[in-house]
Amino acid sequence: MAVGETLPVRDALLAMITAIRSGEMQQARGIGERCVIPLSLTSVDLAMGAKLCEGAESIVYRGTWAGHPVAIKKFRITSSADLDRFKSELTILSSLNHPAVVPLLGARAMPPDYMLVLPLAGGGNLRNALHERGWRPSWSQLLGMAAQMAAGMQHIHSIGVLHRDMKPANVLLLDHATGGGGSSNSKISGSAISSGKVDGGSGAGVGLPEGPEAGSPEEAGPRLRLQVADFGLAAREVDGAGEYDADSLMAGGKPTGGFYKRQMVGTLEYMAPELLLRTAPPSRASDVYAWAVTVNEMATGIVPFSDCTKDNPEVHTVLEMGYGRQELAAAVCAEGLRPLLPRRCPPGFSRLLLGCWEQDPARRPSFAQVLESLGRLVTEELAPWEAAEVAAGAGKREAGQEQVCGPGGAGDDGRV
């Protein structure tokens, strides 16, 4: 290798592993320093701060690197399987390059500490925004954010990777989510959406915790940027040909706050029927299903299935009162149970989500088709639909009836 030449991540990682196994730690460090993404960062390079969050397999800290705020994901390595998971997440992250996907800044891929360094998101994650702060996006915001997520997922799929754990907790907001309302004057280009050229911004990795540490929320305006994150369960796509061997697809860690049982990997409320039945491997179609459940949660503000019971699927809570987790899985698979759609939404929105969570994965659209549908929604349907809703609301007010608004408006409990 020529002096000053940089190494691709995969080549550098393999060379580092060989050097480490031979006890050549200094050589391994030098290889990491020559990688296109630095792989041998040290405690001198990184200033570790307060703990942000903790999972079964890693702890995320606030930190600084070269004077910039970062999130440092420190892995618990107790077995070769743990090390394989770290290497898998590192190589997958390093292969991604899209404004709506969290970027990898650097790493430490040698003992004693194995860490990933990511930018720090200022707006927290989507789950906290929806369910801890009670934020509700306008329809224009929602469709723009849905398009960013779809564009990021399209890129992930384009390089042969499956996310396998799409949910609001794994969507980071680059801006504080403080806007909303029944309508919005934000301008979103339908052509930009349908082509997948949706700018998600850059510079977010792990969301800041809510509360005083996050700083004073700033008005982000109608346009909110986001990034798809957490590739702990992500895996290379498996060829659909041949018999499905569930054991061979168990690569990856446990879902963050999710469902982990035998060969099932994911978070139950966002898992497609074929994954719950274990009749098919994770696929692009199962990622599309999870995306639709996530977007519907954004529209309703309701955790999936938390508003139905066995006896009455339109009231109370599925996980605390009605369905147990096994019963919920059975209802999704055998009875076609799905989250409740918004009570008021553009017809094209409901059609899109219904298509995305079709029972048969072959009938679900690709993310390219999802982006085309979102583009048509923005270009052709949203403005006239919102105008009709405003007119209907004015008529109801004159008649003394309660107004029903959009997902971010008053009087909408999110249910059909």
* Active site residue ranges: 165
Three-class SS state of 86: helix
Taking Cα atoms as reference points, which of 151, 162, 369, 155 lies closest to residue 283?
Answer: 162
Residue 58, H or E segment: strand 58-65
Beta bridge mates, 69 = 64
User: Which of these, 185, 137, 131, lies nearest to 349 by C-alpha position?
Assistant: 137
- The helix or strand, by DSSP H or E, that contains position 287, with its residue range, turns out to be helix 284-300
DSSP code per residue over 312-358? -TTSS-TTTTS--HHHHHHHHHHS---PPPPSS--HHHHHHHHHHT-
Assess contact for 21 and 111: CB atoms under 8 A: no
In sequence order, the β-bridge partners of residue 70 are 63, 119
Q: In whole angstroms, what is the distance from residue 43 CA to residue 284 CA?
A: 39
SS3 helix, strand, coil % of the chain, rounded to 5? 40, 15, 50
For the stretch 83-93, what's the b/e string if a residue is b when 16 or more beta carbons lie within 10 angstroms of its beta carbon? Answer: bebbbbbbbbb
Q: 């959406």: which residue's tokens?
A: 193
* Pair 339, 354: CB distance under 8 Å: no
Residue 299's CB: how many other CB atoms inside 10 A? 28
For the chain, what's the residue count? 416
Report which secondary-structure segment, H or E, holds 388. helix 382-398
For residue 108, the SS3 value is strand
* Residue 53, SS3 per DSSP: strand
Q: One-letter amino acid identity for 372?
A: E
Amino acid at 47: A
Q: Check if the beta carbon of residue 286 is closer than 8 Å to that of residue 359.
A: no
